[in-house]
Amino acid sequence: MAELDYVIVGLGNPGAEYEFTPHNLGFLVIDRLAESHGVRVSRKENMSLVGLGTIQGKPVALAKPQTFVNLSGPAVKGLVERYGLDPDRVVLVYDELDLPWASLKIKPKGSDAGHNGVKSVIGSLGTTKIPRVRLGIHPGRPVDGEKFVLAPFRRSQKKEVEEVVGRGAAAVESILAEGVEKSMTIFNRRARGLHQEEE
């Protein structure tokens, strides 16, 4: 069994129809990290697609649960148990409707803020102390949340989405290199258009 420092979990939905939707930003960040660091995310383990590699000198697993976002918990729990990691060695990457589009916030712990995928992970791991990279998706107008997160991005948004994904990948790399607290001071201050929000 590989000795790992972290498992990086991107939340998303399997299937081509969901590939380029807000709810799949977590998957897209995992894909970007895999591409940048030469990791193949293709092993089937614990209801997830997994790839093992080294990022910032740390041995990690990159994982994309294949259970659909809202049921991600058991898959994440299975990976944590498989690799003998504590929950604070999971970095959860996901879309956040509570944050404005293109903003990013790193948190060391906290509630699910109404995100069912995070709720499932917290429920399965039995703790809220799970480091996370939250990628803001709120478009700044009233939306039906359930429909919005599953609606494909517009073609015209491709460049912006690429930038958001790149920033998400950079935040994960920073957490691995510098730790969560230091990364929060770097990334959270730079967040665009961020209003005060719940801690």
Which residues are catalytic, by number?
23
Strands 104-107 and 132-138: antiparallel
Query: 55-74 in b/e burial notation, b at 16+ Cβ within 10 A?
Result: beeeebbbbbbbbbbebbbb
Question: How far apart, in whole angstroms, are the C-alpha atoms of residue 100 and residue 84?
Answer: 35
Q: What angle do CA 87, 88, 93 make, to 5 degrees?
A: 90
How remote is the C-alpha of 22 from its chain's centroid? Answer: 12
**Other Cβ atoms closer than 10 A to 84:** 10
| Crossing angle of the two packed helices 158-178 and 180-190, in degrees rounded to 10 | 150
Q: Which residue has the tokens 């599953």?
A: 150
Residue 180 identity: V
**Tokens describing residue 10:** 């991107």
